[in-house]
């Protein structure tokens, strides 16, 4: 009987051995705004894993339409690094895989950027998890503060201080301005103006994104705050028509005292504008408090594919200290809080303020985010232009409130 038993055990062992298992190649798209770090991250993953990812960089302006067409036609990539605000729209369309179980199985799930996870959640399920990150912060010019008699190491902590400090810098004259914002850019002002509302106790969307809250006392206060800065001449005239092309350059020109912007500016200033002395602070509310917009990309998986195992393998690498360090050194903030400081070790200390801002970061979540916020003809963009520079603030806010709510109602 002995030979039979050995044969049986051998057969069982062979059955348990993954004979024939072979490496697979998975496709992935990322928008070109992440071109500085995504190719290197994928290269590092491929070098240390049998399964491979083939990355294609897609122009940011084409990503949403390109993915929508590909998903509808069955030719979408396995994975996408997708602007997080568009996660709910593709989830609602049934084009994304449910990542709820995968995400919650990660032992560090509670340490992942909450803004990304919230933006990636639709109808109670998680369809997108953090891939890359940026947050909004406040920059101030230390040289101009010093010349204006201000403490160059003290950031403004409320709106009254911003207006006071901006006025003193503006008084220096010689083409120097106290404050800058891109006045005709809806997306820029979602990123840098919404936090002023949140930090002051207001909101933009409530009831799981089904109800707009634009016409509120907090919004009126924030609009009037910007209008005062404009009316007093603290903001250069060119800001009125800036569609975002000078979003960064306005402060980098070294003649602006204070500007709300993204943390991406820190690395850009250090590398390309070393003569600009600047500080980084959180965006404050009217009477204090802080908030930030959580931007960047979510990692999403195209629905209908047997790829969740490979997705987890990639995410485990991207969220490891090695992956987070690589992202941080190449231009993205870490998306995992418990290893963020380790990932930023050796980099400019001002990134730590950005990491702290991620703890308060928020991102509105709605399947119609583009229609209500990003669209050039949408209510958010229309309202800001009219309210910042026009004569009918009350009417502008009421029209935006009504239009935004009608779009939300139609989508529910």
Containing structural domain, residue 207: 136-293+368-411
Q: Are residues 254 and 395 in the same domain?
A: yes
Q: Are residues 273 and 192 in the same domain?
A: yes
> CA distances (Å), 182 to each of 25, 193, 370, in order?
42, 11, 19
pLDDT of residue 21: 57
Residue 78 within any structural domain of the chain: yes
* Domain count for the chain: 2
Q: Are residues 348 and 246 in the same domain?
A: no
Q: Are residues 157 and 127 in the same domain?
A: no
Q: Are residues 278 and 405 in the same domain?
A: yes
Q: Are residues 129 and 141 in the same domain?
A: no
Q: Are residues 157 and 274 in the same domain?
A: yes
> 195 near 136, Cβ under 8 Å?
yes
Residue 20 within any structural domain of the chain: no
Q: Are residues 206 and 71 in the same domain?
A: no
Return the ∠ at Cα 167 (arms to 162 and 169), rounded to 5°: 95
pLDDT of residue 20: 43
CATH number of domain containing 393: 3.40.190.10
Q: Which of 183, 189, 219, 185 is nearest to 204 (CA)?
A: 219
Q: Which of 141, 384, 153, 357 is nearest to 264 (CA)?
A: 357
Question: Tens digits of per-residue pLDDT, 177-218?
Answer: 999 999 999 999 999 999 999 999 999 999 989 999 999 999
Q: Of the candidates 322, 347, 362, which is a domain's last residue?
A: 362
Question: H/E element holding 77?
Answer: none
Rounded to whole angstroms, how far apart are CA atoms 135 and 291?
10
Q: What is the pTM of this model?
A: 0.90
Rounded to whole angstroms, how far apart are CA atoms 407 and 409?
5
Q: Are residues 312 and 339 in the same domain?
A: yes
Question: Tens digits of per-residue pLDDT, 67-110?
Answer: 999 999 999 999 999 999 999 999 999 999 999 999 999 999 99
Task: Annotate 343-369 with b (16+ C-beta within 10 A) or e (fewer).
Answer: bbeeeeebbebbbbbbebbbbbbbbbb
pLDDT of residue 322: 97
pLDDT of residue 22: 77
pLDDT of residue 268: 93
Residue 384 within any structural domain of the chain: yes
Per-residue pLDDT of the chain (412 residues; tens, 9 = 90+): 333 343 443 443 434 444 445 789 999 999 999 999 999 999 999 999 999 999 999 999 999 999 999 999 999 999 999 999 999 999 999 999 999 999 999 999 999 999 999 999 999 999 999 999 999 999 999 999 999 999 999 999 999 999 999 999 999 998 999 999 999 999 999 999 999 999 999 999 999 899 999 999 999 999 999 999 999 999 999 999 999 999 999 999 999 999 999 999 999 999 999 999 999 999 999 999 999 999 999 999 999 999 999 999 999 999 999 999 999 999 999 999 999 999 999 999 999 999 999 999 999 999 999 999 988 899 999 999 999 999 999 999 999 999 999 999 999 8
């Amino acid at each position: 009987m002995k030979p039979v038993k050995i044969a049986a055990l051998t057969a069982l062992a062979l059955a348990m051995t993954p004979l024939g298992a072979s490496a697979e190649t998975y496709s992935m798209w990322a928008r070109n705004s992440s071109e500085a770090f995504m190719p290197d991250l994928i290269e590092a993953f491929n070098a240390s894993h049998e399964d491979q990812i083939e990355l294609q960089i897609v122009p940011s302006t084409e990503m949403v339409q390109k993915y929508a067409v590909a998903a509808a036609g069955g030719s979408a990539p396995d994975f996408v690094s997708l602007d997080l605000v568009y996660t709910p729209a593709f989830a609602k369309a049934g084009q994304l895989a449910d990542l709820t179980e995968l995400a919650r199985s990660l032992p560090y799930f509670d340490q992942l950027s909450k803004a990304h996870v919230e933006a990636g959640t639709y109808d109670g399920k998680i369809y997108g998890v953090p891939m890359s990150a940026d947050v909004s912060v406040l920059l101030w010019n230390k040289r101009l503060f010093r010349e204006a008699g201000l403490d160059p190491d003290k950031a403004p902590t409320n709106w009254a201080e911003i207006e006071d400090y901006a006025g003193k810098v503006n008084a220096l004259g010689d083409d120097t301005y106290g404050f800058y914002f891109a006045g005709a850019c809806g997306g820029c002002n979602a990123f840098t103006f919404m936090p002023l509302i949140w930090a002051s106790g207001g909101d933009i969307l409530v009831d799981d994104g089904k109800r707009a809250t634009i016409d509120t006392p907090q919004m009126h206060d924030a609009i009037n705050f910007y209008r005062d800065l404009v009316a007093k001449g603290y903001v250069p005239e060119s800001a009125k028509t800036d569609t975002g092309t000078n979003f960064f350059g306005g402060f980098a020109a070294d003649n602006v005292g204070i500007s709300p912007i993204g943390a991406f500016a820190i690395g850009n200033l250090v590398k390309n504008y070393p003569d600009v002395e600047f500080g980084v602070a959180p965006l404050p509310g009217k009477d204090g408090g802080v908030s930030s917009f959580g931007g960047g990309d979510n990692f999403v998986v195209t629905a209908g594919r047997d790829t969740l195992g490979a997705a987890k393998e990639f995410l485990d690498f991207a969220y490891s200290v090695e992956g987070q360090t690589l992202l941080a050194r190449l231009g993205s903030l870490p998306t995992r809080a418990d290893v963020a400081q380790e990932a930023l070790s050796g980099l400019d200390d001002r990134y730590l303020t950005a990491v702290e801002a991620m703890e308060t970061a928020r991102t509105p979540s709605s399947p119609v985010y583009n229609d209500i916020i990003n669209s050039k003809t949408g209510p958010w963009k229309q309202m800001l232009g009219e309210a910042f520079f026009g004569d009918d603030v009350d009417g502008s806010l009421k029209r935006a409130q009504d239009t935004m709510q009608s779009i939300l109602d139609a989508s529910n």
